[in-house]
Chain A
Amino acid sequence: MVIELLTKRYPGMRAWLMQRLTALIMAVYSVMLFLRICILQPDTYAAFLEFFQPTWFRIASWLFWISLSIHAWLGIRDVFKDYVPNMQVRSGLLKILVVLLWVYIAWASWLFLT
């Protein structure tokens, strides 16, 4: 109910909420990744492949990348809104941003999920 109130009555709150939610997911993933690197210390190619092998880790990494994309979209969009007053230039930059983020998502999906 709270979420419905936040997103339907105040649409700007959806962006705010998503920014926080994705931040939380990325923070948890980052701590997990840090601990995993400390414990497994993948310093050879074989160890690195093994490090990257588990399905749960690949899915977590993929979810991290999706969160990152949403987070970057909201953040960089705010930066453009603040510093690029010319609407044509701004919408052009936003289009480039969207294309870049989708390309990165496709690239990351290929790396993490295949």
Chain B
Amino acid sequence: MPENDIQASRKAKAKNRPKNLNLLTIRLPINALVSILHRATGCALFLVLPIMLLLLQLSLSSAAHFEAVVSILNSPFSKLITLGFAWAFFHHFFAGVRHLAMDVHWMTTLMKARYTSKIVLVLGVLATLVLAIKLW
């Protein structure tokens, strides 16, 4: 049965293939960094959805609840959390715009893509800093 032999050896080879899942050995080019952050921030924003709805519902329900939400959001700890998720939003937004631009074939060469990656990272941090100044 040579057919089976070949298949068996293929399976054995597939099993012996090295797996490189050590995150510390994977070098991340800037485009890949922007890409994985786009995914991570998307997940983070999904997780915060029920909290957003809850805060919106509370702040609409009565003046007392509105004041309560404002005072909760005004604590330094809340401000830090808010800034974290604000950065997630800004990064996801700017990286998304970059994706849309690339979909219509803007900035698609490697050099240009690296350049826009840097812009996306800087804009995300910059927008968060502006918000931080506004909050404090």
Contact = CB atoms under 8 A, between A and B. Distances in A.
Interface of A: 20, 23-24, 27, 30, 45, 48-49, 52, 68, 72, 75-76, 79, 104, 107-108, 111
B32 interface: no
B60 A76 contact: no
Interface size class of chain B, counting residues whose CB lies under 8 Å from the partner chain? 20 to 34
A107 B66 contact: no
13 contacts: A20-B103, A23-B96, A23-B100, A24-B100, A30-B93, A45-B63, A45-B66, A48-B59, A48-B60, A75-B42, A75-B46, A79-B39, A111-B53
B36 to A, nearest CB: 11
B63 A76 contact: no
A24 B57 CA distance: 26
Given A45-B66, A48-B59, A27 B46 contact: no
Nearest to B97: A27
A49 B60 CA distance: 7
Contacts of A68: 49
Given A23-B96, A76-B43, A48 B53 contact: no
A4 to B, nearest CB: 19
B60 A111 contact: yes
Contacts of B67: 45
Interface in B64-112: 66-67, 93, 96-97, 99-100, 103
Provide the main secondary structure of the chain B interface.
helix
A107 B103 CA distance: 33
Contact of A111 (B43, B56, B63, B99): B56
B88 to A, nearest CB: 13
B60 A52 contact: yes
Nearest to A110: B57
B2 interface: no
A-B residue pairs, 5 tightest by C-beta: A45-B66, A45-B63, A75-B42, A72-B46, A107-B53
Nearest to B96: A23
A31 to B, nearest CB: 9
